[in-house]
């Protein structure tokens, strides 16, 4: 036996020693089959990796589509499942055969900060897992006809507040705000004035803003001759008179702080809040009268109040997103006397307001501009702007940080956010602020 093995090895050795012709070809053929096998393996594995990435992307998209459905009113696990399966069937992953019928699961994630509040019956997270097979080309030769890939994604619905807001309302309190706004309905007041409608709009936004997150403050122009912080026993006579723009004593802000006590969390305004005292509570019965009036009497000039609003916001230290909601008719025409004799401020008052707002935007503040009865005629508004004539409407449009932050109440001064009444405008701004959070993917 031993002998025969040795003799076989010897004859093999002799073969290699003497029969070298074609040995390279034999070796090449054997090596090549190995190389082809490795190349084939890498092709199949590479395809599987590509499919896994594509499946991962589609799974994330499906989870986000589910999160979108979850954020809709009256959403159920059924509506979310439908949204996810509609999405996956409309956007299949090419080359992957999905196994079974994957369905999303809903859960409540209270441990990640910034997500919407949740409970067992009110979930805030959609998780979705799917697996599928990718057919192989070369590995079939060794009996592997397909490879399995899987992907999981979780997405939280929108609505959580990632960053709080400091909101500065800047209201035009000039005499022109006394004119009646026939398009506005205010409970308890028949034919309300523009001023009353503006106050009511602020009340409605204060009702729904989360006090835990958002601080609010109010400035009016023209400013008042001394600091006004209305208390419970306010009367119109307790309100200081208006002061010249750029007067050393002028106070634009009502109160001195950002207020976060304006509602009780259930949609009711708190009468103890300084903000609520200033703007009042308009109801069909037992209204609380506002402490503020639109005194006017100083012409109209906005550049200084916008600059002061930005300075006040910039001085906050709570790392919140700064927002100015600026409501005006956009027509600025103060006299030199109104401007405390500052001759350099008399010309181009609309352009000055725009520059002040653009400075605020450049500093990171979101400036929302609400054109309230703004004229589109550059000859009958913004009379001090020369040689560049701009209209009040254009002024309001360019005061906004972007076109999406420009709102208007009439079709004359039109915007992409045109609403029939001022309260609707403020509701839209409120939802624009809260919808700045989007659904987000979570770690597994």
Partner 1 sequence: MLRTQSRSVDAAASKPRSLLRDMRGAAAIELALTLPVFLALAIGTLKFGVAMSQYLTLNNAAAQGAMAFALSRGTTTPYATTTTAITSAAPNLASGSVTKTLRVSGTACTTDSACQTALVAGATASVTVSYPCDLTVLGVSFKSNCTLSSTAAQMIQ
Tell me the window of 40-48, 73-81, 95-103, 176-184 that interacts with partner 1 (CB under 8 A): 40-48
Min CB(23)–partner 1 separation in Å: 8
Q: Does 64 bind partner 1 (CB under 8 A)?
A: yes
Cis previous bond, 289, omega within 30: no
Q: Out of 41, 61, 98, 247, which residue is the one contacting partner 1 (CB under 8 A)? A: 61
| 9 or 28: CB nearest partner 1 | 28
Strands (E), 279-429: 321-328, 366-371, 406-408, 417-418
CA Rg, the chain, in Å?
35
Considering only 41, 43, 98, 247, the residue that binds partner 1 (CB under 8 A) is 43
Contact 404, 436 (CB under 8 A): no
Query: Does the CA dihedral 434-440-443-444 come out positive or negative?
Result: positive
Which of 50/412 has CB closer to partner 1? Answer: 50
Backbone torsion region of residue 332, taken as left when φ is above 0, otherwise alpha when ψ lies between -120 and 50, otherwise beta: beta
Nearer to partner 1, 156 or 422 (CB): 156
Contact status: 73 vs partner 1 (CB under 8 A): no
Dmax over CA atoms of the chain, in Å, equals 126
Residue among 173, 127, 167 nearest 151 (CA): 127
State in angstroms the smallest separation of the CB of 429 from partner 1: 13
By rule CB under 8 A, what string of x and - marks binding of each residue 328-357 to partner 1? ------------------------------
Helix (H, G, I), strand (E, B) or coil at 225: coil
Distance CA 109, CA 118 (A): 7
Residues 14-33, interacting with partner 1 (CB under 8 A): 20-25, 28, 32
Sheet holding 251-259, edge to edge: 251-259, 215-224, 165-172, 321-328, 366-371, 406-408, 417-418
Q: Quick check: 439 binds partner 1 (CB under 8 A)?
A: yes
- Sketch the per residue contact string, 81 through 110, with partner 1: x for CB under 8 A, - otherwise: ------x--xx-------------------
- In terms of CB distance, is 7 or 23 closer to partner 1? 23
Helix (H) or strand (E) segment spanning residue 129: strand 125-135
* Closest separation in Å from C-beta 39 to partner 1: 5
The CB-of-159 to partner 1 minimum distance in angstroms stands at 11
CA atoms within 13 A on the CB side of 372: 34
Q: How far is the CB of 72 from partner 1 (least distance, A)?
A: 9
CA distance 285 to 201: 18
From residue 229 to residue 268, the character string flagging contacts with partner 1 as x (rule: CB under 8 A) and all else as - is ----------------------------------------
Select the span of 245-253, 278-286, 288-296, 432-440 touching partner 1 (CB under 8 A): 432-440
Q: What is the closest distance, in whole angstroms, from the C-beta atom of residue 309 to partner 1 in the complex?
A: 23
Query: Least distance from C-beta 360 to partner 1, angstroms?
Result: 17
Among 33, 49, 180, 386, binds partner 1 (CB under 8 A): 49
Q: What does the alpha-carbon distance between residue 328 and residue 334 come to, in Å, rounded to a whole number?
A: 14
Which pairing describes strands 146-156 and 215-224: parallel, antiparallel, or unpaired? unpaired
429 near partner 1, judged by CB under 8 A: no
Bridge partners, residue 153, by sequence:
128
Pick the binder of partner 1 from 33, 76, 404, 420 (CB under 8 A): 404
How many residues can be counted in the chain? 444
Please give the Cα distance from 176 to 328 (Å, whole number): 10
**Rounded to whole angstroms, how far apart are CA atoms 175 and 97?**
70
User: Which one of 85, 293, 359, 438 is in contact with partner 1 (CB under 8 A)?
Assistant: 438
The residue from 41, 56, 189, 239 that contacts partner 1 (CB under 8 A) is: 56
Report CA-CA distances (Å) from 357 to 309, 310, 396.
10, 8, 10
137 touching partner 1, by CB under 8 A: no
What single-letter DSSP state applies at residue 405?
Answer: G
The yes or no reply on residue 141 touching partner 1 (CB under 8 A) is no
* Element spanning 406, H or E: strand 406-408
Shortest Cβ distance from residue 48 to partner 1 (Å)? 11
Q: Which CB atom, from 389 or from 438, has the smaller least distance to partner 1?
A: 438
Residues 6+ apart with CB under 8 A from 431: none
> Min. distance of Cβ 340 from partner 1 in angstroms?
38
Nearer Cβ to partner 1 (129/342): 129
Residues in the site for partner 1, rule: CB under 8 A?
20-25, 28, 32, 35-36, 39, 42-43, 46-47, 49-50, 53-54, 56-58, 60-61, 64-65, 68, 87, 90-91, 158, 402-404, 432, 435, 438-439
């Amino acid at each position: 036996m031993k002998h025969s093995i040795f003799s076989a090895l010897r004859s093999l050795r002799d073969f290699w020693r003497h029969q070298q012709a074609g040995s390279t070809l034999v070796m090449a053929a054997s090596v090549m089959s190995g190389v082809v096998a490795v190349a084939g393996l890498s092709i199949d594995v590479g395809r599987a990796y590509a499919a896994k990435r594509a499946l991962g992307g589609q799974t994330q998209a499906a989870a986000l589509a589910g999160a979108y459905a979850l954020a809709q009113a009256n959403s159920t696990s059924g509506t979310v499942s439908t949204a996810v399966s509609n999405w996956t069937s409309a956007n299949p992953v090419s080359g992957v055969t999905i196994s079974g019928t994957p369905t999303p699961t809903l859960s409540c994630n209270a441990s990640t900060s910034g997500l919407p509040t949740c409970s067992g019956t009110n979930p805030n997270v959609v998780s979705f897992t799917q697996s599928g097979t990718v057919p192989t080309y070369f590995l079939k030769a060794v009996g592997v006809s397909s490879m399995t890939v899987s992907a999981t994604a979780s997405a939280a619905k929108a609505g959580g507040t990632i960053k709080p807001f400091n909101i500065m309302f800047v209201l035009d309190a000039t005499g022109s705000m006394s004119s009646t706004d026939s398009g506005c309905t205010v409970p308890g007041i028949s034919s309300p004035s523009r001023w009353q409608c503006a106050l009511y709009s602020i009340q409605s936004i204060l009702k729904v803003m989360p006090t835990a997150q958002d601080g609010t403050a109010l400035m009016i122009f023209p400013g008042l001759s001394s600091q006004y912080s209305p208390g419970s026993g306010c009367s119109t006579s307790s309100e200081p008179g208006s002061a010249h723009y750029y007067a050393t004593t002028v106070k634009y802000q009502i109160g001195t702080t950002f207020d976060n006590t304006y509602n009780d969390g259930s949609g009711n305004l708190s009468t103890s809040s300084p903000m609520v005292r200033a703007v009042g509570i308009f109801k069909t019965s037992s209204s609380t009268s506002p402490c503020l009036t639109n005194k006017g009497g100083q012409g109209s000039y906005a550049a200084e109040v916008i600059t002061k609003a930005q300075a006040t916001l910039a001085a906050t230290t709570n790392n919140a997103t700064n927002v100015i909601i600026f409501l005006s008719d956009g027509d600025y025409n103060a006299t030199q006397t109104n401007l405390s004799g500052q001759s350099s401020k008399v010309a181009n008052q609309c352009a000055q307001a725009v520059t002040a707002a653009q400075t605020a935007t450049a500093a990171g503040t979101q400036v929302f501009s609400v054109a309230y009865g703004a004229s589109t005629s550059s000859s009958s508004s913004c009379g001090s702007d020369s040689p560049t004539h701009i209209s009040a409407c254009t002024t309001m449009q360019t005061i906004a940080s972007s076109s999406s932050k420009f709102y208007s109440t009439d079709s004359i001064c039109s915007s992409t956010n045109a609403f029939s009444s001022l309260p609707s405008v403020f509701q839209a701004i409120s939802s624009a602020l809260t919808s700045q959070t989007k659904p987000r993917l979570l770690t597994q």
